[in-house]
Structure 1
Amino acid sequence: MERIYMDHAATTPMDKRVAEAMTPIFTEVFGNPSSVHAFGRLARQYLDSARRTLARSIQAREKEMIFTSGGTEADNLAIIGTAMANRDKGNHIITTMQEHHAVLDAVQYLEEQGFHVTYLPVNETGIVSVDKLKEALTDETIVVSVMYVNNETGVIQPIEAIGSLLKDHQAMFHTDAVQAFGLLDIDVNREGIDMLSASAHKINGPNGIGVLYAGDDIAMASMQFGGEQERKRRPGTENIPAAVGFKRALELAMEYKLVRNDVYEQYKQTFLEALANHNIRYYVNGDAEQTVPSIVNISFPGTNVETLLTNFDLDGVAASSGSACTAGSVEPSHVLAAMFGRGDERITNSIRFSFGAFNTIDNVSEAADRVAEIIKRLTNERRQET
């Protein structure tokens, strides 16, 4: 039985071309990029080249890109670091109820440190209201964090409208763009983004490396100590092989972006049409017109997440109930709870399917057939029990 991977929003397989770019770096470029000798200068060249590539992809400047260990650290540094450095200007943070836990846990920590946090609601389509954000702003607001693309539903937030709203406000605008980076066109200047988080392993790059874009004028306290790397914002010897891999993964993502978006949209429509052809009752969660093509979140009435995921895995289909960081838990999705309310059955019967490099039109169709058979069996069993 072929195992079919449909959880690319959690992590993606490394592209062989990325691995090929990284392999010689492990043994041939071993100098410390902070060293002034030839070995260090060579390592610095590779690091600077990767930094330039990442910066250009979002219309930023090279010196505004800070390498981190991943998206979580980038989120933490942006939110906690900026809040701590700007506490003299206010103590109010604004975010949304459907953020990734890397953001939610960071602002919860700030609450424990005496900051005041406003959690904005989202509507049933998963979109935050710019008007409600405007109402929540105060003279004390110093950080606003709204994710670019939701990791569970794929819904795209009104980032440019938020950036425009905050243009003349002291608050720094951060966006977790982990699910958007390399897939959507991003211009931090046009969209008014002050800080942006991204991660290599979401675009077929290596695990363990991310990046934080932070405007040159942003005051940010370091959360680590022991060196002056990354302009003193993130000390520690940089991971040169991973940086090279991140660069190559992004180059490929940008080169094939339009093609991949078209292909992923085809995968999504093929999957949904196959379910419909099997007469499966389902609902797509989130604004269908405002989502990335690589993610679809589906509610299957009369089922529950734990049973679904177990049966999918037994039948060779890898999917998720939401964030990979809580994939081992069967707790209701906080994202769907924010959209529908905690009493709605959709928060416990919805599955995220996400498409990527491990998929073909044939295995997407095959996965849909397997999912349909499982849904039929489970719903029939439930009817017989009742």
Structure 2
Amino acid sequence: MRTVAVVGASLSGMYAARELRAQGFDGRLVIVGDEPHRPYDRPPLSKDFLTGPADEDQLALTDAEETAGLEAEWLLGVRARGLDARGRTVLLDDGRTVPADGVVVATGASARSLTGRDLAGVHTLRTLDDARTLRAELTRGPRRVVVVGGGFIGAETASSCAALGHTVTVVEAAPMPLVPQLGPEMAAVCAGLHRRGGTELVTGASVAALHGTVAVTAVELSDGRTLPADVVVVGIGAAPNTAWLAGSPLVLNDGVMCDDGCVTSLPQVVAVGDVARVGGTRAEHWTSATQQPRAAVANLLAGRTVRSARTVPYFWSDQYGVRIQFTGRRLAGDTVRVAEGGLTDGAPDGDGLLVRYERDGRTTAVLAVDRPRPFMRARRELAREAELVRPATS
């Protein structure tokens, strides 16, 4: 294998490039990215970068020394438009081609947007350029902010806007945000964080229309209410960036279909990060994006699946001054048990909360609110149990 192309200068793409060198690949390494920026960390975009403490230098995933050490060719600000029928040449939208012996697909996902009118003041928050634009707007004095979507990105953005002194309303179409991830009992606890942080939470309603001429002035909801708005932030999920792979032999279904080792249906092509559906699951979490490349690269260099990338899911969220951590696979019907801390009026006590999801006497998942040490112990326990039951990869 003389040339490997990493398509996507993303978190997972950067980790894949590191793994290629760490695992002994000394050939030509080409990294293609549609943004003009070198790889950067996205989680701070909705938190410290938006509120001001973090600058762009602190977001960078590499420094000059590491960049030089990778000995990679960087093709930035250019979009991949196709993968040839054999799956070994990447076609770029500027007409260039990158022939390769191996390909790592790491093109991530793009924020979903509201359909309808294109008005100033309506934002998504997925890229550095998105965050730059939103941060600039939030510094122009008090704003009435409507956040559409009560998931983790929406909650973190709402928390940051409230911390900056803006009037914030979160609109969630479901009866309660985060139910699929946390279940109804603990979703109610997280919903309480909005109220405690001074944010209004509107549930059971979707956006019917945006009002304004040049800039947005109001959000009309499906229940007939109208919310005045100077800024609208849309956080309704992300779609995997697979359009450039249409017509290739890769199997696409809400992501690039892979086995447990990130290996696709094409020889010498693996996929990692938000774009990859690994073993039937597509996980849009920082941890998955950093852990999958190790197995993916090992399998790419071996020419077959020799290592599994399946790990116990883990994610975290910082909002309204608390850290929420979750690990495991919650199942509908699991018993929810408060193992440490407690609740007062539906909100975590001052010393935090540790909750175990249990089924048939076994812990399936763990949630913590400001209980990092007990949580990490529980996370290690779940990881050990998963290793005991995981089948060997042949």
Q: TM-score, normalised by structure 1?
A: 0.31
Comparing both structures, which one devotes a greater share of its residues to strand? 2
Q: TM-score, normalised by structure 2?
A: 0.31
> More relative contact order in 1 or in 2 (CA 8 Å, sep 6+)?
1
Comparing both structures, which one devotes a greater share of its residues to helix? 1
